[in-house]
Amino acid sequence: MFPPPAMLIYLYLFAFGLGGVLLLGSIFVGDKDTGDGGGHGADAGTQAQHFDHGVGEAHGALAGLFTAFFSLRFWMFFLAFFGLTGLVLDGLDLVDSPTIALVAALGMGLLTGQGTVAVFRSLSHSETSTAASAADYIGRSGRVMVGFGAGDLGKVRLTLKGTIVDVLATTEEERGFTSGEEAFVIAMNDTTAVVARAPGV
């Protein structure tokens, strides 16, 4: 039996409200993750993948359509646009039949959710292909954020490809580094930068 129009309106309101809250929450969480201005390129990529868990593992377009349903980002946009479309079409009586409004709302939700996942998947692949390699770090100078001595670990802030990145750092020099000093990357040991002072400093 088809749900009464009043129930559909409540369904649209609930979906739009829940989707909107999830979207706002994802925006604020993202702002807090990057609010220190540090960029954290690798961490940011990992955080973004949490919204699309399982989507990146899809092989082929057909598999991608199905795996999109496991993405939180898909459901955020599906709920928001499903609810918004239903409210506009049914709530404002822009169509004659509630069934048409429901079908249109479902279609808009699916289209928006799938499209959003596809766009972010494409952006993720582009960012991965342009990610900085170890060679990009060597020769760069940065500011020490967390002081460290020989054999210890600290943190240095660098600018790579227009993005501010914080990396773990160590040194082989006897004289350690204090916060605020300038350090030059002379080698990369996995994800840890080996730094030194400029000649004459």
Dist. CA 75–CA 118, nearest whole Å: 13
Query: Percent helix, strand, coil in the chain (nearest 5)?
Result: 55, 20, 25
Q: What is d(CA 105, CA 103) in angstroms, rounded to the nearest whole number?
A: 5
Helix residue ranges per DSSP H, 35-154: 41-51, 61-67, 72-86, 98-129, 134-137
Q: What is the pLDDT of residue 181?
A: 92
Domains, in order of start, for the chain: 5-129 (no CATH), 134-196 (2.40.50.140)
Q: What is the pLDDT of residue 118?
A: 83
Please tell me the predicted confidence (pLDDT) of residue 64: 53
CA–CA gap between residue 185 and residue 134 (Å, rounded): 10
The pLDDT value recorded for residue 58 is 42
Residues in the chain, pLDDT under 50: 31-50, 53-62, 128-129
In this prediction, residue 57 carries a pLDDT of 43
- Residue 74, pLDDT score: 87
191: which DSSP letter?
A: T
Note the pLDDT of residue 155. 94
